[in-house]
């Protein structure tokens, strides 16, 4: 077994400039390109395919639990936006507004949706009348527009793709189960598909979603020590429903107000995959989210027809095993192909060459760690699913070890500042719960509270920020 340690010189190294490394990967791995409109991107086929795999997995899980896909309009009338002042004010600076239709001024402004709570509430009030209409469990796959001042591909864009679930329930308990159930599903998405161990917990009052009673989050830590909010699940209580007049008659013919939830993940998950797993040679894709799981490289196939046929047969056999596989019969050199598919993060490369083929073998190379092994051609296709499973588990274990080593218990404000300003990851502190402390940390070191972990076991009795009696465990970090 050997490891490939060559450096791709066309990519800025992570150590030299992590931000430029990220941009290099996005462009050179063919994930996206910049659009003419500032802040917008083109999702190229390879990048969009990653999102499709995430979407397909999630959509399958949603449908197992009785959720249905819907699609609501792109535009929100100003009068409807004004229905929920508290909710809308947080989005107002980021809204795109349509004022002309065709060649005539509109009689009412139309907002391009930044999120769809008001649309769903306006819809729900017309379809819910009785307890027999509940629960309503809808999900929408769409794009939203937020006019961000600073954009980065996948992480923060003027337009991004996402799913947004919106549900109504007869009881508070059902709604809370839904809220936390979707959070657990997102955690599973990380563990089973993306090979990303999320830190989960509850947002503080300052950081929760406008209009929510509680917001729960999955957070990932990147290789530069910054956090990335990767998904959220909100318990809305009854506030939105009361405001929009959503009512139902219960089994006792008494009028009641439903309990509401909302939850979503977006294409920023692509950014998380890039930054959690990528290296100086390019993408390193977890097998279950890789558009191409196996790339077969035929060596000297133009000189030896047996090599070409063996490569074709191998792709066919892999496909029958449910593996996303292809072979590269282009006239590029094998070295160029090795570098290209390393750049694209293909989890497994299989070389089929005259010498190995004469011995009945092929060579497997794992992108994750460069480990090579020779296996019999006759059993290669059957062996690949296990190899991919091993790669996924190894990638998750590596990311988990990294996350756990980047959570630091801090007992003083000086320790907190040192952790977040030197890229060490999460500063785990005891906190009194005063929002003024969050404001201070933001002003001093540009870090925010990421979540209140579900494990609230205290490790100090004083707030690390202000010295008051501490009641909560909280994670602070700089974040994308």
> Pairing between strand 348-352 and 325-327?
unpaired
Identify whether 158 is part of a domain: yes
Domain match, 48 and 188 both: yes
177-to-66, 83, 184, 254, 379 alpha-carbon distances in Å: 14, 28, 10, 24, 46
Which of 214, 244, 277 is the last residue in one of the domains?
A: 277
Backbone angles phi, psi at 376, to 5 degrees: -70, 135
Q: Are 169 and 248 part of one and the same domain?
A: yes
Tokens describing residue 283: 């993408």
> What domain range is 33 assigned to?
17-71+126-138+147-277
Q: Are residues 256 and 311 in the same domain?
A: no
Give the pLDDT score at 148: 86
| Same domain? 297 vs 433 | no
Identify whether residues 34 and 132 lie together within a single domain: yes
Residue 378 lies in a domain: yes
Residue 99 falls inside a structural domain: no
Does any domain span residue 7?
Answer: no
* 330 in the same domain as 239: no
Burial of 144 per CB tally in 10 Å (0-12, 13-18, 19+):
buried
| Residue linked to tokens 């950014």 | 271
In a domain, 111, yes or no: no
In this structure, are 247 and 326 located in the same domain? no
| Residue at a domain's end among 244, 277, 310 | 277
Residue 76 located in a structural domain: no
Angle between helices 413-421 and 435-445 (to 10 degrees): 50
Which CATH number goes with the domain that contains 435? 3.30.110.30
The residue behind tokens 């917008």 is 40
pLDDT of the residue at 4: 45
Tell me whether residue 26 is in a domain: yes
Residues 230 and 167 in one domain: yes
Q: For residue 287, list its beta bridge partners.
A: none
d(C-alpha 214, C-alpha 167), whole Å: 15
Q: What is the pTM of this model?
A: 0.95
Residue 270, burial from CB neighbour count under 10 angstroms (0-12, 13-18, 19+): buried
Closest CA to 416 of 435, 398, 442: 442
Please state, in angstroms and rounded to a whole number, the distance separating the CA atoms of residues 160 and 153: 9
**Same domain membership, residue 416 and residue 328:** no
User: At which of 277, 301, 328 does a domain end?
Assistant: 277
Assess if residue 385 is contained within a domain.
Answer: yes
Q: Are residues 246 and 319 in the same domain?
A: no
Q: How many domains does the chain have?
A: 3
Give the integer Cα–Cα distance in Å for 233 and 165.
9
With 0-12 / 13-18 / 19 or more C-beta atoms within 10 angstroms meaning exposed / middle / buried, residue 353 is: buried
Q: Which stretches in the chain have pLDDT values below 70?
A: 1-7, 85-92
Closest CA to 169 of 256, 83, 251: 256
For residue 275, the surrounding DSSP H or E stretch is helix 268-277
Computed over its alpha carbons, how large is the radius of gyration of the chain? 25
Q: CATH number of the domain that 28 lies in?
A: 3.30.930.10
CA 339 to chain CA centroid, nearest Å: 27
Q: Same domain for 172 and 268? A: yes
């Amino acid at each position: 077994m050997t490891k490939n340690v060559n450096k791709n010189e066309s990519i800025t190294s992570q150590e030299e400039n992590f931000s430029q490394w990220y941009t290099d990967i996005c462009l050179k791995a063919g994930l996206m390109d910049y659009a003419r409109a500032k802040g917008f991107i083109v999702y190229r086929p390879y990048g969009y395919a990653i999102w499709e795999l995430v979407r397909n997995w999630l959509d399958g899980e949603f449908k197992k639990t009785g959720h249905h896909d819907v699609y609501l309009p792109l535009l929100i009338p100003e009068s409807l936006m004004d229905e929920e002042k508290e909710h809308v004010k947080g989005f107002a600076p980021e809204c795109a507004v349509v004022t002309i239709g065709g060649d005539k001024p509109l009689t009412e402004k139309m907002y391009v949706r930044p999120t769809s709570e008001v649309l769903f509430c306006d819809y729900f009030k017309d379809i819910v009348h009785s307890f027999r209409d509940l629960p309503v469990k809808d999900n929408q796959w769409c794009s939203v527009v937020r006019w961000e001042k600073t954009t980065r591909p996948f992480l923060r864009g003027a337009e991004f793709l996402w799913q947004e679930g919106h549900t109504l329930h007869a009881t508070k308990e059902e709604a809370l189960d839904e809220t936390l159930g979707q959070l657990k599903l997102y955690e599973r998405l990380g563990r089973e598909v993306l090979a990303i161990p999320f830190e989960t917990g509850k947002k503080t009052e300052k950081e929760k979603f406008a209009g929510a009673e509680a917001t729960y989050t999955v957070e990932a830590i990147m290789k530069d020590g910054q956090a990335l909010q990767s998904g959220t699940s909100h318990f809305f209580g009854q506030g939105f429903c009361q405001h929009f007049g959503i009512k139902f008659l219960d089994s006792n013919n008494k009028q009641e107000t439903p309990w509401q939830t909302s939850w979503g993940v977006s294409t920023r998950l692509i950014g998380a995959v890039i930054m959690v797993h990528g290296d100086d040679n390019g993408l390193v894709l977890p097998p279950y989210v890789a558009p191409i799981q196996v790339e077969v490289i035929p060596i000297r196939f133009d000189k030896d027809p047996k090599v070409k046929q063996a490569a074709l047969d191998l792709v066919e056999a892999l496909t029958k095993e449910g593996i996303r596989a292809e072979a590269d019969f282009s006239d590029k050199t094998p070295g160029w192909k090795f570098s290209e598919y390393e750049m694209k993060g293909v989890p497994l490369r299989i070389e089929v060459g005259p010498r190995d083929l004469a011995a009945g073998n092929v060579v497997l190379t794992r992108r994750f760690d460069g480990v090579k092994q020779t296996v019999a051609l006759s059993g290669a296709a059957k062996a690949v699913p296990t190899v991919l499973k091993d790669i996924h588990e190894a990638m998750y274990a590596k990311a988990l070890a990294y996350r756990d080593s980047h959570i630091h218990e801090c007992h003083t404000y000086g320790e907190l500042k040192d952790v977040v300003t030197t890229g060490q990851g999460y500063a785990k502190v005891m906190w009194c719960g005063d929002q003024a402390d969050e404001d201070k940390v933001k002003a001093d070191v540009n870090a925010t509270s990421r979540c209140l972990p579900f494990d609230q076991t205290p490790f100090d009795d004083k707030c690390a920020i202000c010295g008051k009696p501490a009641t909560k465990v909280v994670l602070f970090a700089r974040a994308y």
